[in-house]
């Protein structure tokens, strides 16, 4: 798929044992269209099928490993046999088109509500008051107050991630991605704005990476490290997350992750390349910096178009670029890039929840031409 205008973006690469024929990946996007029991819906099978291309890589929306880790109504789970069967339909549909698919797994931590988490209070490493709105059966409502995890609860939590990774494997996907970004549970352990613990999981850098590394090891014990990816957002503010020294924290985390021989490190870039700018005082820790700390493949994401993507790959700061919103409205995004075709606009109001409209009804380019 070599293209004269995007030679690097449309050239082959590898992720663990998987060969990709281009570097346009689907970024994980929660679209809140799962069934009431958290099983992926037929609509979701169609959505992922449409975005699969020969030799492409898709990363799923985040799936929760237990009821009490759920932060959104309509998000898919990966903790029952029914979930496995439904994810298997997605994996099969994607494989039929010659693509690979990694499942993102996340505990939503303090970004939740008792109505979503089976009556349990949302949990976090520490209590750091935080207000947001979350999507429940009653629409968007204020989140519930969270409580600090007790030390003795952590092993069970890690086991729930390992079980989810096993179920993901049973479903036939190609690997798993730890959602260590955007202020969800693992991220709140890593960053010191939300981790105030004084036990083995808080304080020093070594202690703050402990929870994430235990999750990585749990995933790797099921999959082998070369089919495990980790996503980080060193400059993100989603979930009111913060760190007093992101460069040191994420640099150290990337170095530790580097020891495992992971499939990839997935980095959400500061929005310097898109239309959004950094917030005042925000330290831009990006792929270019983490590249020096992490020896495996890097996936960059966040505000990219084809030209920006080609540029970061040419600079050597990343190996693959994940596209979120543009892939939402252009199911044939890699082909549109290859043919230099115009992109369809996305409908933000259809991002979270709803039916096929604004989700699986975006046509590929050829279909647009013929209607």
Ligand X SMILES: Cc1cc2nc3c(=O)[nH]c(=O)nc-3n(C[C@H](O)[C@H](O)[C@H](O)COP(=O)(O)O)c2cc1C
The contact set with ligand X (CB under 6 A) reads: 27-30, 61-62, 104, 179, 181-182, 231, 268, 301-304, 323-326, 351
Minimum CB distance to ligand X smaller for 27 or for 176: 27
Least separation, in Å, of the C-beta of 183 and ligand X? 11
Nearest CB to ligand X, comparing residues 326 and 337: 326
- Identity of the residue, 261 or 353, whose beta carbon is nearer to ligand X in the bound complex: 353
- How far apart are alpha carbons 348 and 334 in whole angstroms? 21
Q: Which is nearer to ligand X, 26 or 202 (by Cβ)?
A: 26
What's the closest the beta carbon of residue 145 comes to ligand X, in angstroms?
24
Q: Residue 171 or 182: which CB sits closer to ligand X?
A: 182
CB of 151 to ligand X, least distance (A): 28
Which residue is catalytic, options 130, 184, 252, 264?
A: 184
Q: Residue 28 CB, nearest distance to ligand X (Å)?
A: 4
Q: Shortest approach of ligand X to residue 371 CB, angstroms?
A: 26
- Examine the residue annotation and report whether 184 is marked as an active-site residue of this protein: yes
Minimum distance, C-beta of residue 182 to ligand X, in the bound complex (Å)? 6
- Closer CB to ligand X, residue 127 or residue 346? 346
Kindly list the catalytic residues.
Answer: 184
């Amino acid at each position: 798929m070599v293209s004269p205008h995007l030679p690097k973006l449309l050239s082959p690469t590898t992720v663990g044992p998987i060969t990709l024929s281009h570097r346009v990946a689907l970024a994980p996007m929660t679209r809140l269209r799962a069934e009431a029991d958290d099983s992926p819906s037929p609509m979701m099978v169609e959505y992922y099928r449409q975005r699969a291309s020969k030799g492409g890589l898709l990363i799923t929306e985040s799936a929760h490993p237990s009821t009490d880790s759920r932060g959104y109504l309509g998000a898919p789970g990966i903790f029952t046999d029914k979930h496995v069967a439904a994810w298997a339909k997605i994996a099969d549909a994607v494989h039929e088109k010659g693509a690979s698919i990694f499942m993102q797994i996340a505990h939503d931590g303090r970004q939740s509500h008792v109505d979503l988490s089976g009556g349990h209070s949302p949990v976090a490493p520490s209590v750091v008051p935080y207000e947001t709105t979350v999507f429940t059966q009653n629409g968007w409502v204020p989140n519930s107050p969270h409580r600090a995890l007790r030390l003795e609860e952590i092993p069970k939590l890690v086991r729930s991630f390992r079980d989810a990774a096993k179920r993901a494997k049973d479903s036939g996907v190609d690997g798993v991605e730890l959602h260590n970004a955007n202020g969800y549970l693992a991220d709140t352990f890593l960053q010191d704005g939300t981790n105030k613990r004084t036990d083995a999981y808080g304080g020093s850098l070594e202690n703050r990476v402990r929870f994430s590394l235990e999750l990585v090891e749990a995933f790797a014990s099921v999959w082998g490290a070369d089919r495990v990816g980790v996503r980080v957002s060193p400059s993100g503010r989603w979930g009111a997350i913060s760190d007093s020294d992101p460069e040191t924290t994420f640099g150290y985390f990337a170095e530790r992750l580097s020891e495992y021989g992971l499939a990839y490190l997935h980095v959400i870039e500061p929005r310097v390349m898109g239309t959004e700018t950094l917030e005042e005082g925000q330290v831009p820790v990006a792929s270019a910096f983490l590249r020096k700390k992490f020896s495996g493949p890097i996936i960059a994401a966040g505000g990219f178009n084809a030209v920006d993507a080609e540029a970061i790959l040419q600079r050597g700061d990343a190996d693959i670029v994940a596209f979120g919103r543009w892939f939402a409205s252009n199911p044939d995004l890699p082909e549109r890039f290859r043919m230099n075709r115009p992109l369809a606009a996305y409908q933000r109001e259809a991002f979270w929840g709803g039916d096929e409209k604004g989700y699986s009804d975006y046509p590929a380019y050829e279909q647009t031409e013929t209607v």
